[in-house]
C-alpha cells in the first residue's frame, strides 16, 4: 500500500461504507433453519415406535411425495433445513467479502480502508476510472459500480452496488477526478505533448456483463494529441471530429479514419476515465488547432 502525507489529501468530503442489514438477515435465517433442523431431529426421537408405515405429502399443486415412513420424512426435513441454513451462511460470507472496504473521499483522492490498512490514491495519479453496470441493471447499462487504479500495473479497487449512497459517491468521485486531472491533461496537450487513455472493446464489455468478472480486463491505448487521436497505430484527425456531437457518445463511441474505416467502436463505459476523455475532446475541438510537435506521453 502506498502512503500519502495527510496534508496532500485536502479536506475530507465524505466517508462511505457498506450496510450490514442483509448479512444480519441471512445469518438470522441460517440460525433459524439450523434451529428448526435440531427441533425436528428432537421430534423424530419421541415419535411412537408404532407410528410406522408409508407417508405421503401433497404439495400446493397436487404433487404427492411419498416416504417409506415417518423416519424418512423426518430425515428429509432435517436435511432440507440444514441445506437451507448452510446456504444462508454461505451467502452471508459472500456478502461480507463484497462489503469488506470503507472509503474516505478527500478533495485530492480516495482512501480505501480494509481493517487497519489504508490505501490512498490521489486523483492526479488515477489514470483509470472505470464505471460499469452489474446485476439486474447490467443489460440496461445503468452504472452501479466504480473501480479505479493508477494504471494497468496494479489491480483495480472496486466499489460495488451495495455501498450506501452509491450514486452520491460516484458523482462526487467523477467530479473531483475530472477537476483534478483535466487542467493537467490540457496543459500537457497545449505544450505539444500527448495523453494516453485506455479502453476495452464492446465485445469485452458485454462478455464481462455476462460472466460477472468485471475488473479482469485487458485494455488498449488511445493516444490523444492536439491534432489527432491514435488507436492501434491508426490516426483520426481532430478536424474530422468537429462535426461529431460528443453528447451522443453516452452509450456507443465510434471513431473512423479519413478513409471511413472504423478504428474504434465501444460503449462509453468501455473507455477508462470517460468523463475526462469527453471533456478533453470538447476542449480541443472548441480551441483553435495548433500543430503538435513533440509528443510525450503524460
In a domain, 206, yes or no: yes
In a domain, 35, yes or no: yes
**One domain for residues 91 and 107:** no
What angle (nearest 5°) sits at the alpha carbon of residue 231, between those of residues 267 and 241? 70
**One domain for residues 108 and 91:** no
Distance, CA of 156 to CA of 204 (rounded, Å): 17
**One domain for residues 117 and 250:** yes
Distance, CA of 45 to CA of 147 (rounded, Å): 55
Contact 173, 276 (CB under 8 A): no
**One domain for residues 113 and 241:** yes
**One domain for residues 141 and 155:** yes
**One domain for residues 137 and 273:** yes
Phi, then psi, of 175 in degrees rounded to 5: -65, -45
Helix (H) or strand (E) holding 279: helix 274-286
Per-residue confidence (pLDDT) for residue 291, from 0 to 100: 46
- Give 38-60 as a DSSP string: HHHHHHHHHS-TT--S-EEEE-T
Domain around 114:
102-286
**One domain for residues 94 and 110:** no
pLDDT in tens for each of the 298 residues of the chain?
A: 455 445 588 899 999 998 888 888 999 999 999 999 999 888 878 765 555 555 655 655 655 565 566 777 778 888 899 999 999 999 988 888 778 889 999 999 999 999 889 999 999 999 999 998 887 665 566 789 999 999 989 999 999 988 999 999 999 999 999 999 999 999 999 999 999 999 987 777 667 666 667 888 889 999 999 988 888 888 888 877 766 666 666 667 777 766 777 777 787 788 999 999 989 988 888 765 544 444 333 4
DSSP state, residue 20: -
Per-residue confidence (pLDDT) for residue 22, from 0 to 100: 85
Contact 267, 251 (CB under 8 A): yes
**One domain for residues 187 and 211:** yes
pTM of the model: 0.75
**One domain for residues 170 and 213:** yes
Distance, CA of 21 to CA of 80 (rounded, Å): 25
Per-residue confidence (pLDDT) for residue 285, from 0 to 100: 81
In a domain, 1, yes or no: no
Query: Helix (H, G, I), strand (E, B), or coil: what is residue 255?
Result: strand
Distance, CA of 172 to CA of 153 (rounded, Å): 26
Cell of 220: 488498449
**One domain for residues 36 and 79:** yes
**One domain for residues 84 and 132:** no
**One domain for residues 169 and 32:** no
Count the domains in the chain: 2
Distance, CA of 295 to CA of 261 (rounded, Å): 25
Per-residue confidence (pLDDT) for residue 261, from 0 to 100: 76
Q: What are the distances in angstroms from CA 173 to CA 273, 274, 291? A: 11, 13, 34
In a domain, 171, yes or no: yes
Amino acid at each position: 500500500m502506498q502512503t500519502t502525507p495527510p496534508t496532500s489529501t485536502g479536506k475530507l468530503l465524505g466517508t462511505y461504507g457498506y450496510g450490514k442489514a442483509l448479512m444480519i438477515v441471512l445469518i438470522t435465517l441460517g440460525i433459524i433453519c439450523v434451529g428448526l433442523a435440531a427441533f425436528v431431529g428432537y421430534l423424530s426421537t419421541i415419535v411412537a415406535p408404532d407410528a410406522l408405515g408409508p407417508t405421503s405429502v401433497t404439495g400446493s399443486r397436487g404433487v404427492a411425495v411419498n416416504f417409506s415412513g415417518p423416519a424418512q420424512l423426518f430425515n428429509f426435513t432435517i436435511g432440507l433445513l440444514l441445506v437451507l441454513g448452510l446456504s444462508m451462511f454461505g451467502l452471508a460470507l459472500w456478502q461480507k467479502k463484497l462489503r469488506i472496504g470503507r472509503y474516505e473521499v478527500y478533495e485530492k483522492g480516495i482512501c480505501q480502508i480494509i481493517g487497519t490498512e489504508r490505501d490512498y490514491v490521489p486523483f492526479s495519479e488515477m489514470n483509470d476510472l472505470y464505471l460499469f453496470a452489474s446485476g439486474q441493471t447490467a443489460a440496461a447499462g445503468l452504472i452501479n459500480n466504480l473501480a479505479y487504479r493508477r494504471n494497468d500495473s496494479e489491480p483495480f479497487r472496486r466499489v460495488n452496488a451495495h455501498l450506501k449512497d452509491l450514486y452520491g459517491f460516484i458523482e462526487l468521485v467523477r467530479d473531483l477526478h475530472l477537476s483534478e486531472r483535466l487542467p493537467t491533461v490540457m496543459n500537457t496537450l497545449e505544450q505539444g505533448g500527448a495523453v494516453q487513455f485506455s479502453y476495452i472493446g464492446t465485445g469485452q464489455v458485454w462478455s464481462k456483463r455476462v460472466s460477472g468478472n468485471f475488473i479482469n480486463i485487458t485494455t488498449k491505448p488511445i493516444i490523444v494529441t492536439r491534432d489527432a487521436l491514435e488507436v492501434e497505430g491508426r490516426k483520426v484527425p481532430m478536424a474530422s471530429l468537429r462535426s461529431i456531437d460528443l453528447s451522443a457518445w453516452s452509450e456507443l463511441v465510434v471513431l473512423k479514419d479519413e478513409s471511413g474505416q472504423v478504428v474504434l467502436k465501444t460503449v462509453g463505459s468501455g473507455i477508462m476515465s470517460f468523463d475526462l476523455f469527453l471533456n478533453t475532446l470538447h476542449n480541443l475541438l472548441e480551441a483553435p488547432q495548433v500543430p503538435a510537435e513533440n509528443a510525450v506521453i503524460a
